[in-house]
Structure 1
Amino acid sequence: MDRRYIELERRPELNRPVLIAGFTGWNDAAEAASLAVDTLREEWGAEQFGAFVGEEFFDYQSVRPQIKLIEGVTRTVEWPENALYATSGGVQALGGRDAVLISGPEPNFRWRAFCQGVVDLGRELDASLVLTMGALLADVPHSRPVSVAANAQDPSLVENLKLSASRYEGPTGVTGVLHRYVAEAGLPAVSFWASVPHYLPSVPSAPAALGLLQNLQNLVGGRLDTSHLERTSEDYQRQVAAAVSQDSDLVSYVQMLEERYDAQTDGGTRDLPSGDELASELEQFLREKGDEEQ
């Protein structure tokens, strides 16, 4: 493992850990992936044992350091980093295996070096599985179950989980690159992608985070305590439904998405349009509505 890129405060004692990664930024629509990883870190009591060297991977003008006050007096600087967390003593939900979590902003630089660092870390820690989580904006309504697509080396794994295989083609972020790097390195790798409504891009989506964790639970065969996210998801649905109901055009648009979702659910794999296509479709719909009202 290249120590230029990773700093370890200690080397944790781990039992065949599952390495789980999720990043804020482009791969994290509605903060679903980062919320899912943060939920695991808190539930499992994972503690930080290292980090990727921020100087090697971040443009501090794009991802700026933060000034924090300690007890209202002392100022300190918190630098962007991709932190490494680990459990100890095994996690019941993982069948007694441990977990290593990687979280933080999507790196600006040296993606190949970053991904190779994750591969090297996985090998050094004897990882039994590398799971990446992401979320993307899609033409899905908030009022239907969250769609989660999967990528895996073994297509039968996706089929057994009753997930749709991702058929996305187009620009990708570090999450997509990392999954391919890990898979091509021969480590067991799975990637989960939650779809969130494109008309709610900046509203943190507890339902999407919950969907990711439920699929993690199905994958590892354990039981996760997601009760907090379930309550938060119920609040999310109520608040979004109330907000949408205030806009008649949006109500009609969501109804159209619901009809399309219901028709496609029985048809298997769904092709996800690009963000530009979604924006164009919404603009056309609103223009047509405006013409009808004149």
Structure 2
Amino acid sequence: MERTEGDHLATRGLRHHVVRIRVDDLLVEDRAAVVARGVGHLRAAEFLEQVRHGLEVVAARGANRAVGAGEGHRLTFDRIEWSERPAVKSPLVVCAFKGWNDAGEAATAALAFLIDSFDATEVGRIDPEEFYDFTAVRPTVRLSEGRTRVIEWPENSIHAAQVTGAEHDLLLVQGTEPSLRWGQFTGMVVDAARELDAHMVITLGALLADVPHSRPVPITGIASNGELVEKLGYERSTYEGPTGIVGVLHHACARAGVSSVSLWASVPHYVAAAPNPKAALALIRSFEGVAGVAVEALDLEESAEDYERQVSAAVASDPEVKSFVERLEQTIDEIQPEVTPDQIPSADAIARDFQRFLRQRGPNDPR
């Protein structure tokens, strides 16, 4: 039976969300293509290069307005509404934004998890009035205590966390991709990084891709300068085309001489449920490698396992979808590189897994 692009072949509950399984005949034939579903996420034709991320590409207007090195630079640190000056040591500035670069809400879910894990304190906000078209990104209304109506505006909040025993503390920027004045917005973030002597800016992103839910989440890492490329084994971007706020932010970092890294998770396009805990976990683990800190993520690991089980059950209920996913799995398995010595888990990773085993065993376990 012929399927159209929008056909929903199976629907199952995923916790409080809905899993919608979609199949596109063209996608099955073209294994390298990526089908993006839903407004606001990366488009299919852009993926093969966009996955490498447009660190050096930005509209001319945004480039001219981006804050960085050069004459006429004006510090915007004080334009952020700080409740207190963050007491952070050579921080890593970690950013994730809802919208175009947040497929499956994986990036913002990962950042929210970091905020909770490190018990980060909110220290600042960026006033949304200048940066959003509220007819496109609308505020929401909720009832407080069942009676009082409260308007909640799109926001970008900044949290600070001191990481015991680590070389760098954390400054976590959580928000929504702005509608307006991207150069000014990214300039504020970069100026905050410079004012606080940040070591590096790290952005988290996610895109819809031609990947199965049952395999490890592919992570693409991009570094902004040659030293980071060599140190982390990442690559410079050669992408040309549309970009999001993350691309403009990295461009502003480069102009200001601030090191930056971008981590991207590939999310199965046929699963509509959000957030995607498995992709969020993959971003967390990649962040650990860049940041040199360990993140306790047992709860997220359990959510990721539950997510995979429920999606697998939904897929198994439809023979056509099951066949499609099996083809994706076969493709991934064929191109999966062999494990090399440098891919063997580190001592820190082994120690973390052992500690997790001890916690799960419990004090009264005789083993």
TM-score, structure 1 as length reference: 0.83
Correspondence 1:266 to 2:340: no
Give the stretch that moved more between structures: 198-207 or 29-38: 198-207
What does residue range 26-105 of structure 1 map to in structure 2 within 5 Å?
A: 26-87=100-161, 90-92=162-164, 95-105=166-176
Equivalent residue letter for 2:116: E
Show structure 2 runs of 5+ residues with no match: 1-74, 340-367
Equivalent residue letter for 1:259: Q
What does residue range 1-294 of structure 1 map to in structure 2 within 5 Å?
A: 1-2=75-76, 5-87=79-161, 90-92=162-164, 95-154=166-225, 157-158=228-229, 161=232, 169-266=240-337
Q: What residue number does 1:279 align with?
A: none
Equivalent residue letter for 1:141: P
Instruction: Write the distance in 1 (CA, Å) between the matches of 2:133 and 2:325.
Output: 38
Alpha carbons 2:204, 2:262 under 8 Å: kept: yes
Equivalent residue letter for 2:327: M
Alpha carbons 2:225, 2:259 under 8 Å: kept: no
Structure 1 residue 2: deviation in Å?
A: 2.3
1:67–1:34 Cα change, 3 Å: same
Instruction: Write the distance in 2 (CA, Å) between the matches of 1:265 and 1:164.
Output: 19
Provide runs of 4+ in structure 1 moved above 3 Å: 154-170
Structure 1 residue 190: deviation in Å?
A: 0.5
Q: Secondary structure at the match of 1:208?
A: helix
Alpha carbons 1:150, 1:166 under 8 Å: kept: no
| Deviations, residues 141-189 of structure 1 (Å, cap 9, x unaligned) | 1111000001102456456556677665542211122122213321111
Alpha carbons 1:149, 1:166 under 8 Å: kept: no
1:159–1:254 Cα change, 3 Å: farther
| Deviations, residues 226-258 of structure 1 (Å, cap 9, x unaligned) | 111100000000000000111212111111111
Show structure 1 runs of 5+ residues with no match: 269-294
RMSD over equivalenced CA pairs, Å: 2.2
Alpha carbons 2:160, 2:170 under 8 Å: kept: yes
Give the stretch that moved more between structures: 146-155 or 259-268: 259-268
Instruction: Write the distance in 2 (CA, Å) between the matches of 1:4 and 1:12.
Output: 13
Structure 1 residue 259: deviation in Å?
A: 1.5
Instruction: Write the distance in 1 (CA, Å) between the matches of 2:284 and 2:226.
Output: 20
**Larger of the two Rg values belongs to structure:** 2
Q: Secondary structure at the match of 1:50?
A: strand
1:155–1:252 Cα change, 3 Å: farther
Identity across aligned pairs (percent)?
45
1:160–1:14 Cα change, 3 Å: closer
Instruction: Write the distance in 1 (CA, Å) between the matches of 2:237 and 2:323.
Output: 28
Q: How many pairs align? A: 265
Structure 1 residue 191: deviation in Å?
A: 0.5
Instruction: Write the distance in 1 (CA, Å) between the matches of 2:295 and 2:229.
Output: 20
Q: Secondary structure at the match of 1:251?
A: helix
Alpha carbons 1:31, 1:204 under 8 Å: kept: yes
1:120–1:264 Cα change, 3 Å: same
Q: Secondary structure at the match of 1:262?
A: helix
TM-score, structure 2 as length reference: 0.67
Equivalent residue letter for 2:86: P
